[in-house]
Structure 1
């Protein structure tokens, strides 16, 4: 399949023009007020951004350089900037859950998505990951996205064209099941990277092994431990890939205000697991990593190793247990007595304990 992109010398990086210069009609602009609240609007001649504290005319923003601070009709100030990729992804229309920026960044880096690479992905969802992959492969690259649901493909197409200012020359979308369609539309060994975001990536193992070039990277994004385990074991059993590696990323922001420097109370913790493996050459047998033997059943020795004495816990005497039991049963009774009578009862209990 021919590369759909022209040479870099003929065309500048796609979408670069829309990221520079003064604001133009049709652009999305991020408005931030003095309390840090952000709103994203699409500039329309004659339009206005309304709040309970007045309104800001779009015509006031159009033609201004990025980073301008403008007042609305009541003097409320707004900072105007073009949304960053992370801002756009979290605010764009979505039909399915998006791949968070922290995971998309890991996929691009750990998947080694390079300029000019030939990449296939499934499924597209709302197009968040597709945008990051297109930025990484560039105009001279190739991204073939597979999606089962036509409505998701349409949403993704709209989001991609919004952020790039039009159709991306390196992007192609196909409808259908990945494991069937990719074998029809891609030549064996012609793909550099495979990125899967789906429920059962292990079902695509043969398809991935067929289209992925030797040394190519297969990276999976899964949500649960069960998916992670099953995919890893399927890759190990297949023998055509290197030992799989898995991880997750967590991002925690920090509050910065004078000397009040501390972690934010909220963080983006678990969103999904990432698992990678690389395609071996045809005929090669993957190395079996040496591991300590593991057991699924407990032996008598294992059970004896977890007694209280074995883990250093002090043995409690019967005498102490009796005292604690008496204390527990008489606490309410003592609390209901006058102080002098309660003290007398405690002394009597001590004498009884000495006798025993």
Structure 2
């Protein structure tokens, strides 16, 4: 499937024009200085990017190829490239904490998300995982995203539109509880893949079991060992899925300088666990895996201590010591994401003429630039 301009000319797959060709107003670019520090800005006609190193005029970049090295008015040089999906995710407006690129990549692989697949996702958060899933399903696929908070849904819509430069034809966001809303939207046995990023995914087990096609893959992203254990036991008890498998991914970069080759002092370690299982056909029960004879059985007392009931252990953000995202912060992020989305749509349509689309650059903007500054990383 290809998108078309108002004049009827084909523009290729969704988002392709934002990734190729000369740099255009409304597109985001990543400027990297000699210290390796990246900063992301959105190009505007007449825009300026102000830092303590000097002023860089956007017009010196618009119309040129990416991969160039440019100097600002003070002679300070920057390497200019379009941000990759990883860079975009780490610098985009956010309400909820984003799913890290290392985990998004694993989710797409473990869930075997293929072009044309019908995928259900919950919760959406800031849309980081949605971007990876939409790329994987392609223009012919469908992604239905479910989110409890309307303000988070708005942030996600803005970020997705800003990345692709247009609306994705197969994406829809539904606001409400997934376990209730999904049964109103999805036909029984019609969903190929389910990806859940929520505090209590076991609450959606019956709904997932109903909407998934036999052989479908269910992947859940959870942060703690207690969540992982409780979900695994719930899946086993349902007898509608294969034996669940779990893992986590850690990424360690390396320092490369001549013969001084060693691991970096910092790394992206634990962010979450992935648990995956496949849907069995109706009326089928999973095989009982043979255990080693010396392996001890789990006692009822152990389960009671490890899996307390909801009265003793509420499954909410407060219980997991997570700071709730305030409505003010979410609204601010949603407004920022929408401005970036409008600028990106203008870049694709070729109609961006207003230099005052967004807030001033950081640090020290003029009002003509839409700049996000340095990318954020959650530790």
**Which TM-score band applies after superposition, normalised by the shorter structure?**
0.7 to 0.9
Q: Which residue of 1 aligns with 2:167?
A: 167
SS of 2:139's partner is coil
SS of 1:294's partner is coil
Q: Could you report, residue by residue, the CA deviation over 1:188-217 in whole angstroms, capped at 9, with x for unpaired residues?
A: 000000000000000111000000000000
Q: Which residue of 1 aligns with 2:363?
A: none
Q: Which residue of 2 aligns with 1:276?
A: 276
TM-score, length-scaled by structure 2:
0.75
Distance 1:127 1:174 in 2: 13
Distance 1:199 1:133 in 2: 20
* Cα deviation, residue 295, structure 1: 4.9
* Cα deviation, residue 50, structure 1: 1.0
Q: Could you report, residue by residue, the CA deviation over 1:290-317 in whole angstroms, capped at 9, with x for unpaired residues?
A: 11331568xxxxxxxxxxxxxxxxxxxx
SS of 2:167's partner is coil
Distance 2:265 2:128 in 1: 26
Distance 1:6 1:131 in 2: 18
Distance 2:283 2:252 in 1: 45
Q: Which residue of 2 aligns with 1:47?
A: 47
What is the aligned-residue RMSD (CA, Å)?
Answer: 1.5
Distance 2:173 2:193 in 1: 16
Contact 1:125–1:156 (CA under 8 A) maintained in structure 2: yes
Q: Could you report, residue by residue, the CA deviation over 1:84-140 in whole angstroms, capped at 9, with x for unpaired residues?
A: 000010111100000000000000001000000000000000000000000000000
Distance 1:46 1:17 in 2: 22
Q: Which residue of 2 aligns with 1:14?
A: 14
Distance 2:19 2:53 in 1: 30
SS of 1:89's partner is helix
* Cα deviation, residue 37, structure 1: 1.0
* Cα deviation, residue 17, structure 1: 1.4
Tell me if 1:140 matches 2:135: no
Distance 1:150 1:171 in 2: 16
Q: What is the number of residues matched between the two proteins? A: 292
Q: Which residue of 2 aligns with 1:59?
A: 59
Q: Which residue of 2 aligns with 1:70?
A: 70
Distance 2:12 2:193 in 1: 24
What are the within-5 Å matches in structure 2 for residues 184-263 of structure 1?
A: 184-263=184-263
Distance 1:39 1:6, change over 3 A: closer
TM-score, length-scaled by structure 1:
0.80
Structure 1 segments unaligned to the other structure (5+ residues): 298-356
Distance 2:39 2:285 in 1: 54
Distance 1:131 1:196 in 2: 15
Equivalent of 1:294, from 290, 293, 296?
A: 296
Distance 2:199 2:18 in 1: 36
Tell me if 1:130 matches 2:135: no
- The higher radius of gyration belongs to 1
Distance 1:160 1:19 in 2: 14
Structure ranking higher in helix proportion? 1
What are the within-5 Å matches in structure 2 for residues 76-155 of structure 1?
A: 76-155=76-155
Structure 2 segments unaligned to the other structure (5+ residues): 5-9, 300-379
Distance 2:296 2:134 in 1: 43
SS of 1:187's partner is coil
Distance 1:46 1:220 in 2: 46
Distance 1:249 1:53 in 2: 38
Distance 1:62 1:281 in 2: 55
* Cα deviation, residue 12, structure 1: 2.5
* Cα deviation, residue 288, structure 1: 1.1
Contact 1:6–1:140 (CA under 8 A) maintained in structure 2: no
SS of 1:74's partner is coil
SS of 1:275's partner is strand
